[in-house]
């Protein structure tokens, strides 16, 4: 149990004893001088009881004497109850944290099995800035879930089966000789990343004006879904080349998946799923297409019908997602399925989830949650674009961050031979922290200069502090691991770790890691204040020195663990 919960429980006992509404017995962390936790629930109580707030506060404090060994409890006007932990208690906590591999992080009581669907890259199209968010957010939420004890299955769910595939194949066939895929006597034409790079934008623009091309691409999409010879083989080749490219991007970001499935992976079960809808009389024909009516009579929310199958029989985005849910339910029997996409997909997932519930495709108790994120904007407040107005490719963005980090390293002469590998680690940490430090549902402004400063709320700052600590520990000989909390600076550090640990619980509830980012920053800056004030390595009192070194180790453990959840790697040097 965390310290905050422990104190809250004690507070609750007193509230119950005094006949006060216990829901007001909550504490929050406080940054004020000599206040570690604060209860501000007395005001609500005073209103309810029609008593003077300060009288109630004093009465509560009088009854909290059992805590006098571990904290100082005082009231402050108008009616706050303040808790300050005593140094001996903080020392005890610190030494427990030091011995724990999880640095005191509390596990979930009833662990769940959760399928995570994020990434969502489309094959044959380069990943772009939007995919950055899905990858970073999805990966960190998955890691957080693992840390807290859940079992996770992460699926990249590639976009590999829709009209875009027909468009790409049609354009490739127009521009190159793909005869090899249809007959044995033609030499093989190598489909490369470079070719794919130019084909999709070309096809996508052409479909807007060229009706014949659009119709041909639609036919090819259908033939592909029927696995017609030649088309299916071209598609397999495109998929193979493209996945190489996609994996590279994800690897750079530290994003990993257990499953490399895609929309195509459910092609063969779609008819079975459609039959479920037919049997339950949920499917209607409308203007040639098969649809499910998903409007909810109880709400006024507009909900257009979900289109399940096109008039030509081709499968649509909705049915692939429904079928994927069906497949995941049967294969993994998960407790929960979590989707992470940008907020433009809200309607799509509402329709999918409604269809799934109508047709009882998963057990009622399975939660299906759609987490949405906002847009990455430029400094002008509009979606972040390249100088000529194009969409930023993810690979280019990573290069940009890496190059900037390299310049900074050179500038500050922080390292003798600036190395690209290190710069990449720093660049990626800038991108990750710059993203995750925002509430995920909100848009944010992409400002690489800001993300890359070495002193401020940034990923590189966390790395910098981590590296400093590593260098201290490398130079010293830590023999006796015992932390003595005997100064305000040290107690601030221990409290920052407690706050960080609590931030994981909040992040888990809110599905957003912004609080973890801020708590990591607070911990790093608390350590920095301490580090600037004391001489660790030259401390002559050996007991003190060992305590400092143990504290360094504890902070490094907490930072490494927290940064690891975000996907930030602390280098050896910087």
CB 6 within 8 A of CB 89: no
Least separation in angstroms between CB 122 and ligand ARG:
5
CB 317 within 8 A of CB 270: no
According to the binding rule CB under 6 A, does residue 321 interact with ligand ARG? yes
CB 569 within 8 A of CB 425: yes
According to the binding rule CB under 6 A, does residue 503 interact with ligand ARG? no
Task: Please give the backbone phi and psi of residue 525, each rounded to the nearest 5 degrees, phi first.
Answer: -75, -30
Identified binder of ligand ARG from the candidate list 41, 104, 138, 159, rule CB under 6 A: 159
According to the binding rule CB under 6 A, does residue 351 interact with ligand ARG? no
According to the binding rule CB under 6 A, does residue 139 interact with ligand ARG? no
Identified binder of ligand ARG from the candidate list 120, 166, 427, 460, rule CB under 6 A: 120
According to the binding rule CB under 6 A, does residue 164 interact with ligand ARG? no
According to the binding rule CB under 6 A, does residue 315 interact with ligand ARG? no
According to the binding rule CB under 6 A, does residue 138 interact with ligand ARG? no
**In sequence order, which residues have a C-beta less than 8 Å from that of residue 477 and are 6 or more positions away?**
none
Least separation in angstroms between CB 276 and ligand ARG:
19
According to the binding rule CB under 6 A, does residue 126 interact with ligand ARG? no
Using the contact rule CB under 6 A, the part of the chain among 114-122, 241-249, 269-277, 418-426 near ligand ARG is: 114-122
Per-residue three-class SS string for 237-294: HHHHHHHHHHHHHHHHHCCCCCECCEHHHHHHHHHHHHHHHHHCCCEEEECCEEEECC
Least separation in angstroms between CB 120 and ligand ARG:
3
Which residue, 62 or 344, is less far from ligand ARG as judged by CB? 344
Kindly state the tokens that stand for 395. 């690979």
According to the binding rule CB under 6 A, does residue 265 interact with ligand ARG? no
- Structure letter (DSSP) for residue 74: E
According to the binding rule CB under 6 A, does residue 145 interact with ligand ARG? no
| Interatomic CA distance for residues 225 and 231, integer angstroms | 9
Angle 80-86-88 (CA atoms, 0-180°, nearest 5)?
A: 165
According to the binding rule CB under 6 A, does residue 341 interact with ligand ARG? yes
**In sequence order, which residues have a C-beta less than 8 Å from that of residue 537 and are 6 or more positions away?**
472, 475, 476, 545
Identified binder of ligand ARG from the candidate list 117, 139, 237, 252, rule CB under 6 A: 117
According to the binding rule CB under 6 A, does residue 122 interact with ligand ARG? yes
Using the contact rule CB under 6 A, the part of the chain among 106-114, 116-124, 185-193, 481-489 near ligand ARG is: 116-124
Q: Please, is 110 exposed, middle or buried when counting C-beta atoms within 10 Å of its C-beta (0-12, 13-18, 19+)?
A: exposed
Identified binder of ligand ARG from the candidate list 157, 207, 239, 370, rule CB under 6 A: 157
Cα-Cα-Cα-Cα torsion 167, 172, 178, 182, nearest 10 degrees, comes to 0
Chain positions contacting ligand ARG, by CB under 6 A = 117, 120, 122, 157, 159, 321, 339, 341
């Amino acid at each position: 149990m965390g310290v905050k919960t422990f104190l809250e429980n004690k507070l609750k006992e007193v509230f119950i004893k005094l006949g006060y509404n216990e829901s007001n017995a909550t504490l929050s962390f406080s940054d004020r001088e000599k206040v570690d936790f604060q209860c501000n629930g007395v005001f609500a109580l005073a209103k309810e009881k029609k008593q003077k707030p300060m009288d109630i506060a004093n009465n509560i404090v009088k009854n909290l004497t059992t805590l006098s060994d571990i904290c100082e409890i005082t009231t402050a006007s108008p009616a706050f109850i303040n808790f300050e932990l005593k140094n001996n208690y903080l020392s005890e906590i610190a030494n427990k944290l030091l011995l724990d591999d999880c640095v005191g992080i509390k596990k979930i009581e009833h662990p769940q099995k959760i399928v995570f669907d994020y990434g969502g890259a489309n094959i044959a199209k380069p990943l772009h800035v939007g995919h950055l968010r899905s990858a970073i957010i999805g990966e960190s939420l998955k890691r957080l879930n693992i840390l807290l004890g859940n079992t996770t299955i992460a699926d990249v769910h590639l976009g590999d089966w829709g009209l875009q595939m027909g468009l790409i194949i049609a354009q490739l066939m127009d521009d190159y000789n793909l005869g090899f895929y249809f007959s044995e006597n033609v030499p093989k034409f190598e489909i490369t990343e470079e070719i794919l790079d130019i084909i999709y934008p070309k096809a996508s623009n052409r479909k807007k004006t060229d009706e014949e091309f659009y119709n041909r691409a639609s036919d090819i999409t259908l033939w592909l879904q029927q696995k017609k010879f030649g088309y299916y083989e071209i598609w397999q080749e495109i998929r193979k080349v493209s996945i190489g490219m996609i994996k590279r991007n994800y690897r750079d970001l530290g994003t990993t998946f257990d499953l490399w499935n895609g929309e195509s992976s459910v092609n063969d079960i779609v008819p079975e799923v459609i039959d479920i809808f037919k049997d339950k009389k949920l499917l209607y024909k409308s203007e040639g297409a098969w649809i499910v009516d998903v409007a909810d009579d109880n709400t006024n929310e507009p909900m257009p019908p979900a289109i399940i199958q096109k008039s030509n029989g081709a499968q649509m985005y909705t049915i692939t997602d429904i079928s994927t849910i069906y497949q995941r339910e049967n294969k993994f029997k998960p407790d929960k399925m979590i989707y992470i996409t940008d907020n433009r997909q809200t309607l799509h997932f509402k329709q999918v989830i409604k269809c799934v519930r109508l047709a009882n495709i998963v057990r009622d108790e399975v939660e299906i949650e759609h987490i949405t994120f906002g847009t990455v904007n430029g400094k002008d407040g509009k979606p972040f674009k390249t100088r000529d107005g194009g969409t930023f490719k993810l690979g280019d963005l990573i290069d940009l961050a890496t190059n900037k980090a390299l310049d900074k390293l050179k500038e500050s002469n922080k390292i003798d031979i600036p190395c690209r590998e290190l710069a990449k680690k720093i660049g990626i940490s800038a991108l990750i922290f710059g993203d995750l430090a925002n509430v995920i549902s909100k848009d944010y402004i992409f400002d690489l200069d800001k993300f890359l400063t070495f002193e401020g709320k940034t990923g590189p700052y966390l790395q910098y502090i981590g590296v400093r600590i590593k260098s201290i520990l490398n130079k010293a000989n830590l023999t006796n691991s015992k932390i003595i909390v005997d100064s305000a600076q040290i107690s601030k550090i221990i409290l920052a770790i407690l706050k960080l640990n609590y931030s994981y619980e909040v992040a888990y509830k809110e599905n957003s890691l912004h609080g973890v980012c801020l708590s990591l920053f607070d911990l790093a800056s608390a350590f920095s204040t301490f580090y600037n004030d004391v001489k660790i390595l030259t401390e002559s009192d050996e007991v003190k020195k060992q305590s400092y070194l143990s504290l360094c180790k504890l902070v490094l453990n907490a930072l490494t663990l927290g940064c690891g959840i975000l996907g930030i790697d602390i280098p050896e040097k910087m």
